[in-house]
Structure 1
Amino acid sequence: MRREIGRRGILGIGLGMAVAGCGTTPPPAAPSAPPSSPPATTPPTTTPPAPAGPARQLIRSESGRPEIALTFHGAGELSLTRRVLDLLAQHGAQATVLAVGTWLASSPDGIRMVRDGGHEIGNHTWSHGDLAHMEPNPMLTEIERCRDELARLTGGPGTFFRQSQGQYATATELAEAGKAGYGRVLSYDVDSLDWTDPAPDRIRRAVAAARAGSVVSMHLGHAATVAALPGVLSDLAGRGLTPVTAGRLFA
C-alpha cells in the first residue's frame, strides 16, 4: 500500500511473535597433553560477521523481455486468497506474494497455498505499520519478525522484502532490510488501486499502465481484485505480456 497519495495506515493488524534462532555446539575438550609436550594453545577467536549492507531497491526491470511481475500484498480472508490463486492458475500466471506477518500467524494456510501453487514469497513486515516513520530498531523488528515467521512456515525467509505503506523504500528501510538479510527490496512502478475497492474496470485501466518490465502492486484480501483479475490477465495476454515472479523478472 502506498503513501504517495496521502493514504496512511489502511491495515490495523495486531502484533505477535515468532523468533527463530540457533546455537553453536562447543567443541569437545582436547585430551591432556603428556608432560613433555608443549602447552596447548587457545583456538583463535572468530569475529562475528558485520551486518549486511543496505539492500538494493528494485522498481522495474530493464531486461527487455515481454514480462511483468504481478505482486500481491498478502493479507485478508483465505477464501479470497484461494480465488486469486485459482484465477492465476487458470491463466498460467505466476506471481509474487509479499506476506504480512500477522496474517501468517493467524492464517498460516494462506502462505502454504501460495507456496504449493508454485508462486514466489516475500516479506511485507510484521504488522503493516507506517514503516517510514519508525525508528530503525522497531523497523528492524518488524522485518525480522515477519522473516522468522516465514521461515517457520515455509522453510525460508522469502526472496524479497517490501516496505509497508510506501511505494518506494527510504534509505533507512533499505539499510534495515539489509541488516535482516535481504539483499533486494521490491518496490513497484504500477499501483492497481485495488486497495480502494473500485469497480473492476478502474483496476484494469490502472494496470494498463504496465509495460514490459513493470512491477504491479495488487492485494489478496480485496473482493475487487478477484472481480478484476480475469480481465487484467486477459488484457496482459492480449498485449503479449507474460506475468512472472519478480525473481524471474529481475533474473
Structure 2
Amino acid sequence: MTSLDRRSVLRAAASAAAAGALASGCDPHRDVDAGAVRSAGGPSPSRAGHAPPARARAARPPTRVPGLPVQIAHGPRNGRAVALTFHGRGDPRMATALLGEAERAGAKVTVLAIGDWLDEQPAMARRILDGGHELGNHTMHHRNICALPAAEAYAEISRCADRLRALTGTIGSWFRPSQARRATDLVAGLARKAGYPHVLSYDVDSLDANDPGAPAVQRTVLDAVGPGSVVSLHLGHAGTVAALPLILDGLRRRGLRAVTTTELVT
C-alpha cells in the first residue's frame, strides 16, 4: 500500500468513525450475517470454480501452556507485554490498513477469524500470517455459541477449524467463543474436542464494536490496560483503525509492547 493509499484509507476510516459507521461485531445483541455486511466496491467473495488462493505460511498449532487454566483472560502481570486481539470480520481494506499500522509500530496482534469471513476473504489468512501475526478460531458464523445445542456449537467450532486448516495447514492458535466473553463448560469441552486446549477470553473490552469513535476507543483501552492484559478489539470498524496508532503510542509511553497472545502467555 502506498503512503497515499494509506492516508486515504485512514481518512476514510476517521470520517466513517465520526459518522458512527456500523459493522458487525461481538456485541451479544448483534449477530449479523457476513453476507449482509459487504462494503460497496470491496473485493468479491470467492466463488466455486475460481482458483483457490495460495496457502498462507503455516499457522501456529493450538497453543498449550501447562499450568494455565482452560480459559485464559490475561497473561503474566509482572512483564511488559500485552496482547491486542481482534474479532476477524469486515472490509479487508480496513483490516489491511490496521495490520499495516501495527507493523509500522513493530507490534504483533492476534486475529480470531470467523469462518464465513475466511470463505469470502481467503487471502486475509495469508496477509495476517505473513505480517507475523497470529490467527485463531472465532466460530463459523458468529452465532451465540453458548446458547446452542452441543451438536450445533461443535459444528460452529469445527467448521471454522476446517477453514483454517485448509488455508494455513493448522486449526490456528486459539479458540474464542462468539457472542460471549467466557465459554460455558460445555463449549470449553467442545473446543478441547476440536483440538484447542485453551479458550481465549480477555480482561479489557475496548467497546469498539459500538462505534464510539477513535478517541473513545483509545481512552477505554488505555484507561484499563496493564501488563499482561488481553484486549478485545475488532477488524472492520473505522474507529478502531484510527485509534490503533494512538493506542500503540500510549502503550509505548508506558513501556508496554503489543505481542501475539502465544508470546504473552509463554
Category of TM-score, reference length = shorter chain: 0.7 to 0.9
Name the counterpart of 2:106.
92
Structure-2 residue corresponding to 1:40: none
Residue 11 of structure 1 corresponds to 32
Q: How large is the RMSD of aligned CA atoms in angstroms?
A: 1.3
Deviations 1:114-137 (A, max 9, x none): 011010110000000011110111
The 10-residue stretch of structure 1 (141-150 or 195-204) with the greater mean CA deviation from structure 2: 195-204
Counterpart for residue 240 of structure 1? 255
Name the counterpart of 2:195. Answer: 181
Name 1:147's counterpart in structure 2: 161
Superposition map of 1:166-205 within 5 A: 166-205=180-219
In structure 2, C-alpha distance between the alignment counterparts of 1:93 and 1:13, rounded to whole Å: 28
Offset of residue 9 of structure 1: 2.8
Q: Give the percent of matched residue pairs that are identical in Structure 1 and Structure 2.
A: 44
3-state secondary structure, aligned to 1:161: coil
Give the Cα–Cα distance (whole angstroms) in 2 for the partners of residues 13 and 137 of structure 1. Answer: 22
2:94 to 80, 97, 102: 80
User: What is the TM-score of this pair, normalised by structure 1?
Assistant: 0.80
- Aligned counterparts of 1:125 and 1:2: Cα–Cα separation in 2: 12
| DSSP-derived class of the 2:85 partner | strand
State the distance in 2 between where 1:246 and 1:151 align.
19
Q: Does the alignment pair 1:210 with 2:225?
A: yes
Aligned to 1:59: 73
Q: Please give the secondary structure, in 2, of the residue aligned with 1:217.
A: strand
Deviation at residue 172 of structure 1 after TM alignment: 1.2
Q: Which runs of 5+ in 2 are unaligned?
A: 1-24, 36-68
Rg (Cα) greater in structure: 1
Residue 73 of structure 1 aligns to a residue in which SS?
A: strand
- Counterpart of 1:221 (choices 224, 236, 244) is 236
Q: TM-score, normalised by structure 2?
A: 0.76
SS of the residue aligned with 1:71?
A: strand
The unaligned stretches of length 5 or more in structure 1 are 15-54
Which letter maps to 2:248?
A: L
